[in-house]
């Protein structure tokens, strides 16, 4: 008896074998190749470099101050009536100082009216004169030696740098502390 495997193939069978043996394009999802992640990594690196290049670095500094209590009356009520109670008013003409005795006159010599430390000829504030005046006021009486508080008030339009320079001028003089505790007042 003849072996069925040795039988000649029909034309339909030969056609099917030819069709199956021909290379064909795989359908979507059938491809078993590797995933190419290089383009994705290029995009991520470009975005990362752009973000790092566009980040701006800022340096923040802070100034330690003691804010007045709510209502403002509590800080003043705790001070004795014999205290200096120094206040500095920054105006466009200069800096006026006021104590519990009254306004300090021009030149820091006596109690009276006027701008205590007027602007200099080149239209800038005279911070060394302000420091000298504060030092003189602190040394006027023995009980003023313990004073550490000053209230600074600025008129509208006074720039921030001027306020900081006034604060620095009133805080210390060549290492000697004058008025390190700064409070801010409100100009009306």
Helix (H) or strand (E) holding 44: helix 38-54
Give pLDDT tens digits for 24-35.
776 776 666 677
Render pLDDT for 63-103 as a digit per residue (tens, 0 to 9).
666 665 555 444 444 444 577 888 888 888 888 888 888 88
Lowest model confidence (mean pLDDT) among 19-23, 24-28, 180-184: 24-28
% residues pLDDT > 70 (the chain): 79
Work out whether the CA dihedral 72, 73, 74, 78 comes out positive or negative: positive
How would residue 42 be classed by pLDDT, with cut points 50, 70 and 90? very high
* Interior/surface letters 133-162, b for 16+ CB within 10 angstroms, e for the rest: bbbebbeeeeebeebebbbbbbeeebeeee
Residue 1 has pLDDT above 50, yes or no: yes
For the cut 50, the answer to whether the pLDDT of residue 172 exceeds it is yes
pLDDT score of 44: 95
Question: Percent of the chain at pLDDT above 90?
Answer: 9
pTM for this predicted structure: 0.56
Picking from 115, 108, 110, 187, the residue whose alpha carbon sits closest to that of residue 152 is 187
Asked if pLDDT for residue 130 goes beyond 70, the answer is: yes
Average pLDDT, the chain: 80
CA distance 150 to 178: 9
Strands 86-90 and 94-99 come out as antiparallel
Beta carbons within 8 Å of 24's beta carbon, 6+ residues apart:
none
Lowest pLDDT segment from 6-20, 48-62, 137-151: 48-62
Residues in the chain: 188
- Give the SS3 label for residue 103: strand
pLDDT of residue 66: 62
Instruction: Give the residue-averaged pLDDT of 114-143.
Output: 84
């Amino acid at each position: 008896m003849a072996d069925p495997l040795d039988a000649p193939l029909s034309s339909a069978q030969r056609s099917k074998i030819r069709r199956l043996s021909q290379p064909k394009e795989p359908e979507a999802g059938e491809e078993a190749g590797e995933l190419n992640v290089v383009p994705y990594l290029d995009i991520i690196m470009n975005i990362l470099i752009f973000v790092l290049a566009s980040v701006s670095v800022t340096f923040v500094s802070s100034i330690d101050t003691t804010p007045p209590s709510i209502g403002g009356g509590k800080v003043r009520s705790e001070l004795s009536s014999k205290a200096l109670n120094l206040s500095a008013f920054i105006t466009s003409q200069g800096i006026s100082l006021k104590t519990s005795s009254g306004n300090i006159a021009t030149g820091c010599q006596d109690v009276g009216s006027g701008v205590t430390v007027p602007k200099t000829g080149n239209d800038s504030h005279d911070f060394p004169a302000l420091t000298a005046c504060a030092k003189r006021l602190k040394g006027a009486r023995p009980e003023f030696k313990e004073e550490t508080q000053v209230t600074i008030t600025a008129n509208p339009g006074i720039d921030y740098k001027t306020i900081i320079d006034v604060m620095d001028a009133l805080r210390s003089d060549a290492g000697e502390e004058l008025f390190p505790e700064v409070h801010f007042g409100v100009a009306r």
